[in-house]
Structure 1
Amino acid sequence: MRNWSRVLSLSGAEMLFLMRCLAVVGAVRLGLTVFSYNHVRGLVTRLDAKGAASTGELRRIAWGVAAAARFVPGASCLTQALAGHYLLARQGNASKIRIGIERDTGAELKAHAWLVSGNHIVLGGSISGFTHLVDHGP
């Protein structure tokens, strides 16, 4: 209930942006359920984005995607990174989806995904404690 009261207190522009984020996060989550990661990644990364996002734009994307993910069941770090990448690319801003695995977890493999733009981690938290595997994006 607390999430809804916060949503209802947003301005009209914030509400529209959150709804756009919700639609993208939901579509990416559905896509990852139905299709392979490579297929969804191909759709999300097809936009040619070369610009650098401002810190304000990165914070706005981080807020919108994280807030929308609270309403989408199973919206994992990978779902959020893909959705954020798409939203940034729609604005012409370049980013990468970084995938890594956690070190020293024993027999259990723990993977994680981040959205990185320039030198900024937009979504996914700290990279320390993880081994970098691959970056997807320009």
Structure 2
Amino acid sequence: MPRERPGKNRRLAAVWRDKWLLLSSFIILWFVRLSLSLIGYNRMIRCVSFQPHQPVPSDALALRIATSIRYASALVQNPTCLVQALAAKILLGLRGYASQIKVGVRRNGDTFGAHAWLISDGKIVLGGDSENVASFQPLMKIE
């Protein structure tokens, strides 16, 4: 019997321990996805704005939320980077933490790309790392 990679099993076990976080990630991802389609971005953002009462989440909490969003995204139709970033922002906001979404664009020859990533305390929580997002010119920030 082939031996499985221990790192992968530990990550999956950690996500399973956070089953309520995983379930809420799934529900919020679908909520954001449907809201963007049905009522549009501006109206949805007004419905989910939070007043943070804690400055920044711990690195462990931010990682748990990002991981649960990534796993739950596998079950959502068209989970774009904006949908994932908005869902993670909602999860952090429900816990009282401040975060912001940055949306950037880049152009490589004839191709045009856009990307959204979530930042809390100056660190990228979801949507890549500083090397990945460095090629995008920030266009807007969502508080």
State the TM-score, normalizing by the size of structure 2.
Answer: 0.82
Q: Among residues 121, 133, 137, which one is paired with 1:131 in the alignment?
A: 137
Q: Among residues 105, 111, 115, which one is paired with 2:114 in the alignment?
A: 111
8 Å CA contact retained: 2:21, 2:65? no
Provide the rounded CA distance (Å) in 2 between the counterparts of 1:43 and 1:98.
Answer: 19
The number of equivalent residue pairs is: 130
Deviations 1:70-106 (A, max 9, x none): 110101000001000000011111000100002x323
* Residue 87 (1) aligns with residue 91 (2): yes
Cα distance, 1:12–1:64 mapped onto 2, change above 3 Å: closer
Identity value in percent: 33
* Residue 99 (1) aligns with residue 103 (2): yes
SS at match of 1:47: coil
SS at match of 2:96: coil
Provide the rounded CA distance (Å) in 2 between the counterparts of 1:20 and 1:43.
Answer: 17
Cα distance, 1:11–1:38 mapped onto 2, change above 3 Å: closer
Q: What RMSD over aligned residues (CA atoms) do the two structures have, in Å?
A: 2.0
SS at match of 1:31: helix
State the TM-score, normalizing by the size of structure 1.
Answer: 0.85
SS at match of 1:114: strand
For structure 1, list consecutive stretches of 5 or more residues without a partner in the other structure.
Answer: 1-5
SS at match of 1:22: helix
Map of 2:76 onto structure 1:
72
Larger Rg: 2
Provide runs of 4+ in structure 1 moved above 4 Å.
8-13
